[in-house]
Amino acid sequence: MMFRHRRTVAAAALAAAAVSGMSACSAVLGEEESLVDATSLTVGVKADQPGLGLEDGEGGFEGFDVDVALYIAGELGIPEGSVEFVGVTSDQREDVLDVEDPLLVSGRRVDMVVATYSITPVRKTEVTFAGPYYVAKQDVLVRSDAAEIGGVRDLEGLDVCQGEGSNSTTRITEGLGIDVVPTEEPTYTDCIDLLREGDVDAVSTDNLILAGFQTQSPGEFRLVGNPFTDEKYGVGLRYGDVAACEAVNRAISKMYQDGVADDMLSRWFDGTGLETLDSVPQFEGCA
């Protein structure tokens, strides 16, 4: 299950989606319907985050989040061939799950989001979260020659980039009271490009995301390694689908208990120096 994955959907499911204008899942959330009844699945993942969710240039996606989504799908009884991945950005994640007025991606609604989606009180008013399936920590990425930056406090007065829809710089400015100059770009790939060119001084977000970019450009960037805050990655589901949330939580528990999660994390983040999580995270609850 931990290999490069194609965007594949059963032809019948695609035909049904074309007729209905909805995503290729068999269950639409209603009074008694749930994602647990689905026979196919459309999953929103990041398309530009190495090690987590990255479009491979051949129509497929790969990374830890992709592997997690496929594992969950398997536990829900949905075969890999009936799982389709579509790329979503940070600011699209609530909208693609909206039952009443969904943002269509590739002509479809998204049934589930596994896209470094931090669980927050505000987001829980719009999305039902299973998990977390991982707890990352916010850290800082700088150019390798920026020896003067040893932690988040050293960012005072500097330019810090975040992806659109992220809360990363808010956690620095409002959460820690550190006055930085925030820059927001559509994606973290754009932030990394600005960092590379010297147009910003740092990029701050979850350490798994930063470690992925660091491994993609060896020697060019340095992960400060002085994390602050916990980032609980949840599986985003349509609001109110408690049955699906409970089923996904059972799958996440099994994924850690069987050692599969550790294998996935080793596959994508060995050599980064990160100490990755190896036990079941404490769940938030589905109600």
Residue 1: the pLDDT is 34
The reported pLDDT for the residue numbered 29 is 44
Percent of the chain having pLDDT more than 70?
A: 88
pLDDT digits (tens, 9 = 90+) for 124-147: 999 999 999 999 999 999 999 999
| Residue boundaries of the structural domains of the chain | 5-134+233-269, 136-230
Query: Three-state SS string across the chain, please?
Result: CCCCEECCCCHHHHHHHHHHCCCCCCCCCCCCCCHHHCCCEEEEECCEECCCEEECCCCEEECHHHHHHHHHHHHCCCCHHHEEEEECCHHHHHHHCCCCCCCCECCECCCEECCCCECCCCHHHCEEEEEEEEEEEEEEEEECCCCCCCCHHHHCCCEEEEECCCCHHHHHHHHHCCCCEEEEECCHHHHHHHHHHCCCCEEEEEHHHHHHHHHHCCCCEEECCCCEEEEEEEEEEECCCHHHHHHHHHHHHHHHHCCHHHHHHHHHHCCCCCCCCCCCCCCCCCC
pTM over cut 0.95: no
Q: Does domain 136-230 have CATH number 3.40.190.10?
A: yes
Confidence of residue 107 (pLDDT cuts 50, 70, 90): low
Q: What is the pLDDT of residues 27-83, one digit of tens each?
A: 344 445 799 999 999 999 999 999 999 998 888 999 999 999 999 999 999 999 999
CATH architecture for the domain at 5-134+233-269: 3-Layer(aba) Sandwich (3.40)
Task: Using the predicted structure, report yes or no on whether residue 205 has a pLDDT greater than 80.
Answer: yes
Q: 5-134+233-269 and 136-230: same fold?
A: yes
Tell me the per-residue pLDDT of 260-269, one tens digit each, with 9 for 90 and over.
999 999 999 8
Mean pLDDT of the chain: 86
